[in-house]
């Protein structure tokens, strides 16, 4: 909400005017005390726009999800599904796995399933713009970059760089 800098009055859509000053910039003028103050940067909105505004929806307040976040989220979800389903194929791909003790095999399966579930949850959070998912993805990429291969390290740097872009951080409320 906007407040008048002189009288402190909360200014609704009809309680101030936006006018051009002598420099060609918009300023807001309080209808009550006639004080002018810098505009929020928005161009004037006509009365008909206010009258026809759909106040039942707050879609106009939401930041659009960046395309890269959508791609990253879908890849996380697919990776999680592959991790959960793919672990069952692990024994067929690596037949020597059956030579390991059962408790080690159980631990490998459990870790794969837990990580798969976490990936799906993080992917969902990324799609919904949840702040915790940004933090989890950031931490996951740092860990992956530190422990992974050279390709994993380069991929992690790219993702961390992307996550720190202003529009991405704004989407997550950071």
Tens-digit pLDDT profile for residues 75-92: 999 999 998 888 777 767
CB atoms within 10 A of CB 22: 6
The DSSP code sequence of 110-142 is HHHHHHHHHHHHHHHHHHHT-HHHHHHHHHHHH
Are 134 and 163 in contact by the 8 Å Cβ rule? The answer is yes
Tens-digit pLDDT profile for residues 56-71: 444 444 678 899 999 9
> 0.85 cut: is pTM over it?
no
Structural domain spans, the chain: 2-56, 67-171
């Amino acid at each position: 909400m906007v407040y008048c800098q002189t009288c402190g009055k909360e200014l609704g859509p009809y309680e101030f005017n936006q006018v051009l000053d002598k420099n060609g910039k918009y300023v807001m003028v309080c209808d009550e005390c006639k004080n002018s103050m810098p505009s929020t940067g928005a161009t004037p909105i006509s009365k008909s726009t206010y009258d026809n505004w759909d106040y039942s929806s707050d879609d106009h307040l939401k930041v659009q999800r960046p395309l890269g976040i959508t791609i990253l989220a879908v890849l996380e979800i697919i990776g999680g599904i592959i991790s959960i389903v793919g672990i069952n194929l692990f024994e067929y791909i690596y037949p020597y796995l059956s030579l390991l003790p059962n408790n080690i095999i159980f631990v490998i399966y459990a870790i794969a399933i837990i990580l798969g579930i976490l990936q799906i949850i993080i992917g969902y959070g990324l799609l919904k713009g949840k702040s915790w998912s940004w933090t989890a993805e950031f931490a996951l990429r740092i860990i992956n970059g530190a422990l992974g291969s050279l390709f994993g390290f380069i991929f992690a740097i790219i993702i961390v760089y992307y996550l720190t872009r202003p529009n991405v951080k704004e989407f997550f409320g950071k």
